[in-house]
Structure 1
């Protein structure tokens, strides 16, 4: 297994390793349940144990890594039940965020949302997974900021951190990119253009339902089956 060589420029070393390991997990370079052995990670990314431990602690808080007694850190294993529960809560909160965005968002928020959706539509076919995830994060930054509710902000960002692995599965599915463009465009039209709170809520919930269906299908395909 070859990892991303960390370049000791620009961003602090810890941030570079954090991003490299995060993307390797999302790209399934490390499998769910696989132990993340410090010595191997040090060799893979050519960094010290101190840096690796800091990165593992951060990924633990994000939900991508789980510390298991007597085993240490492993890549988080999400069951279908875990995933369904996360998507249920995500759908409810994003629907509310969409409705509040329609009512409260400033012109700047609306412009930010439209800008990132246009960029996603233009580049998603050529963009790698990291770039697509970054654009989705920018979309949600605009949605959450425009909703102007600090409880939604903290709660939904926490859920997004835990659902990141599932989002990676969904975005990599064949045909999902074009579907995502249509769904985000519908959210923008309802929330930012027409300022229709009910339609914005419905568009957000529809996007999460479709993402959930795709992610759960991909998750099932990657898990071993008995028999």
Structure 2
């Protein structure tokens, strides 16, 4: 999944109608939903535009992501089937291959697939819904994080630790700690890139 629109970009209804071959009513309804999820901002006298995150908002979102992913990891260790454990190990191998490439989009795609399996094994649909919103709002930052220097090797080590704890040792406490560390490190890399891009 890649970001098709950039933060701060104006969203013109007529252009969106033509691009997606839908009516103005549909576009307006979708924009209202995206505004509710924090993905679109309605600017007076200008109209809708892609929301821009502040550094503080980004920090807050990563705090939420850390809590949700650590809970999901713990629940996976407790609830996942043997088949889901095998699938998580398979996804880890795909993550390893992708991290060795220079394709940020591919890296994000395989990580999303990994988390699909982790969340399915956790058996809590509310966590999945909440994380979808958090990840959508931090999509650009996730690309920053995965593209940062040396992040690929660290990501592989962190995901390997999560997988061992969740799918092999079935240790809820260890996987919670591993997930927290992974998100904390991803946040540090993303926020550093964000600060550099904004001149801080």
Q: TM-score range by the shorter chain?
A: 0.7 to 0.9
CA–CA separation in structure 1 for the residues paired with 2:110 and 2:20 = 31
Following superposition, the deviation at residue 180 of structure 1 comes to: 0.9
2:125 to 141, 147, 150: 150
Q: 2:94 maps to which residue? A: 119
What SS does structure 2 have at the residue aligned with 1:131? helix
CA–CA separation in structure 1 for the residues paired with 2:48 and 2:177 = 39
Following superposition, the deviation at residue 169 of structure 1 comes to: 1.5
Cα deviations by residue, 1:133-168 (Å, 9 ceiling, x for unpaired): 111111111111111123222222222222222211
Q: How many residues align?
A: 197
Point out 4+ residue stretches in structure 1 off by more than 6 angstroms.
Answer: 39-42
With normalisation by structure 1, the TM-score equals 0.75
CA 1:108/1:69 → structure 2, altered by over 3 Å: closer, same or farther? Answer: farther
Q: Looking at both structures, which has the greater relative contact order when contacts are Cα pairs under 8 Å and sequence separation is at least 6? A: 2
1:82 to 41, 57, 60: 57
2:159 to 148, 160, 184: 184
CA–CA separation in structure 1 for the residues paired with 2:23 and 2:161 = 42
Q: 1:208 maps to which residue? A: 183
What SS does structure 1 have at the residue aligned with 2:138? helix
Q: Mean Cα displacement is larger for which, 53-62 or 132-141?
A: 53-62
Q: 2:136 maps to which residue? A: 161
With normalisation by structure 2, the TM-score equals 0.85
Cα deviations by residue, 1:185-207 (Å, 9 ceiling, x for unpaired): 11000110100110000000000
Q: Aligned runs of 1:1-227 on 2, under 5 Å? A: 22-25=2-5, 30=6, 32-37=7-12, 47=19, 50=22, 54=27, 57=31, 63-126=38-101, 128-225=103-200
Whether the 8 Å CA contact 1:34–1:74 is kept in 2: the answer is: yes
Following superposition, the deviation at residue 62 of structure 1 comes to: 6.0
Whether the 8 Å CA contact 2:13–2:27 is kept in 1: the answer is: no
Task: State the superposition RMSD in angstroms.
Answer: 2.6
What SS does structure 2 have at the residue aligned with 1:23? coil
